Structure 1
């Protein structure tokens, strides 16, 4: 057996390239039809959410009692008053001016807007309701370029958007096993996501809920490198000696 063949074989075994199937996202996406339910996705309001709700109307004075302010409104002026937000309590309710306790858990902001428009419409004409989730955030950690918690202004973010915010996966990220951690109604669930599978586009987890966390686990290369640690130099020296010995024996 030629010594150069043996040396080459050892080198290939030590430094073999990763398979494209382990690196490329969303393989063979042709023909994927995204479901309407995902195209129109909106997150549901949960316990602990903070809602910003503003009520206005043609008659601005009539709408004032349906808004919360940090300081009392003097006369018809609210220029020096800071609007307050609503915390969804453990019963899934907020305490709304005039209307009292109001169940909001499980609604989307669009659905809650419809409810409030109907209820407030009993008191004032043509109310306009604006609602937003002020504390909508997701976390991305593990093998990404910029791990951290990200606040989402519009209350809608997909797994892809979250990964982009985090600067994409590192070369050591396991694209076939990204862990989604979700907590709802006091129950924590763990979902494994395969970023190489085109079916992700129709997954009920494609869009993230508030406070979701994505954990990108390290691939085998990273794990092996970590196991080697400070012994890297020793191992490389040993491999070099082994190759030299094989060359001598085959000479």
Structure 2
């Protein structure tokens, strides 16, 4: 093999290894390559169990609003929407002992409970201690926004809050400006706080079977980290055109240096 062939082979190798393959960029691919439509059994998201520092929005209603006004925070009975900051300051934060402190009702233990279980617990206490069933008490308990944190190779990093009951990983990424072209979609790390400790798991967003993963649906306070692809550290370019441009620049620099040294 002569020198020209060697250099040509080297350039072609650099070109192909530095480019990011299409398969690394496309979400939810059918990697079974069956060519037929596959039915996926979606894993139902487990109900979230409350943890310390969660903020709850509790609203108590009745036929006569005056009867329950004392149980609500200042703006809870107005029927108007609240901003994220208002929910934080007017909501009920789960303290280190797992309790929330409500007007009149006092401290209520909610750690490890689901939102539905907390609603039933508050409603039961109201009916046992303050009201009769004829008062038609209506209690709603919600998280003050679905909060998660995302970092790494995405368009917009930081802590995000979505006002909906369930959020999956695809929605979270879409609300963060999508994964950049140099982000590793095959190894997205989710860090989750659980009653038994911290769980860490990698999921492959390029595989359609990720929908079956218990980590496909997020839980409040999840941390998402998108690692960079190795092509980012090489700096040779993300596409074929960029790689060719880099190679031409290197060759031009090498040629110029060689000619200057010969003078």
TM bin (shorter chain): 0.7 to 0.9
Equivalent residue for 2:63?
Answer: 58
Cα displacement (A) at 1:174: 0.8
The one of 189, 192, 203 equivalent to 1:193 is 203
Classify 1:78/1:192 alpha carbon distance in 2 versus 1 (closer, same or farther; 3 Å).
closer
Q: How does 1:25-64 map to 2 (within 5 A)?
A: 25-28=27-30, 30-35=38-43, 37-38=44-45, 41-64=46-69
Q: Partner of 2:126 in structure 1?
A: 120
What do residues 20-55 of structure 1 show as CA deviations (whole Å, max 9, x unaligned)?
Answer: 4322222218221113x23xx543221101111111
Q: Aligned equivalents of 2:220 and 2:188: distance in 1?
A: 18
> Corresponding residue for 2:34?
none
Which of 162, 173, 182 matches 1:163? 173
| 2-structure distance, mates of 1:139, 1:98 | 35
Number of aligned residues: 226
Shift in alpha-carbon separation, 1:129–1:139, aligned structure 2, 3 A: same
- CA-atom RMSD in angstroms: 3.3
1:56 & 1:46 partners in 2: Cα distance? 26
How far off its partner does 1:218 sit?
0.6
Say if 2:183 and 2:229, in contact at 8 Å, map to a contact too.
Answer: yes
- 2:250 aligned partner: 236
Does 2:30 align with 1:18? no
CA contact (8 A) 2:145 2:164 kept: no
Q: 1:215 maps to what in 2?
A: 225
Once residues 3 and 184 of structure 2 are traced to their aligned partners in structure 1, the CA distance between those partners, rounded to angstroms, is: 36
Matches of 2:156 and 2:123, distance apart in 1: 41
Q: Provide the rounded CA distance (Å) in 2 between the counterparts of 1:147 and 1:92.
A: 30
Report the TM-score, using the length of structure 1 for normalisation: 0.76
Instruction: Determine if the alignment matches structure 1 residue 150 to structure 2 residue 160.
Output: yes
State whether residues 42 and 156 of structure 1, in contact with CA within 8 Å, keep that contact through their aligned partners in structure 2: no
Gaps of 5+ in 2: 31-36, 80-85, 237-245, 259-263
Q: Distance in 1 between matches of 2:111 and 2:213?
A: 23
Moved more, 10-19 or 179-188: 179-188
TM-score (norm 2): 0.73
Structure 1: give runs of 5+ residues left out of the alignment: 71-76, 227-231, 245-251
Contact preservation (8 Å) 1:47, 1:185: no
The aligned counterpart of 2:92 is 86
Shift of 1:234: 11
Secondary structure in 2 matching 1:121: helix
Assess if the C-alpha contact under 8 Å between 2:11 and 2:247 holds in 1: no
How far the C-alpha of 1:12 sits from its partner, in A, is: 2.1
Q: Deviations over 1:84-111 (max 9, x none)?
A: 3211111111123343321112222223
- Give the CA deviation at 1:113: 1.6
